[in-house]
Amino acid sequence: GEQWHILLNGEAAYAERYGWVDPFSEGRARVVKDGKQWHILLNGEATYTERYDRVGSFSEGRARVVKDGKEFLVDLNGKRIEE
């Protein structure tokens, strides 16, 4: 099935539909489509262009992501954070 976020008035927050959406955290939400994951903003725009195998929710401005078996952190704009 398709999933998306709705506004308080019951209308869709954006036009895109996903296989899965998480609640927003720090103004971003994890979405899944066609086997890839990324984060979107409240208006439905992608936070960054990269697509990952797995992403976590943001906490303290960081989210854990996995791509090609490698796990690392990204900031709110999707930029890799060196640990």
pTM, 2 dp: 0.94
| pLDDT, block means (10 residues), the chain with 83 residues | 96 98 97 98 97 97 97 97 87
Closest to 41 (Cα-Cα) out of 26, 57, 63, 53: 26
* pLDDT score, position 82: 87
Cβ pair 55, 62 in contact under 8 A: no
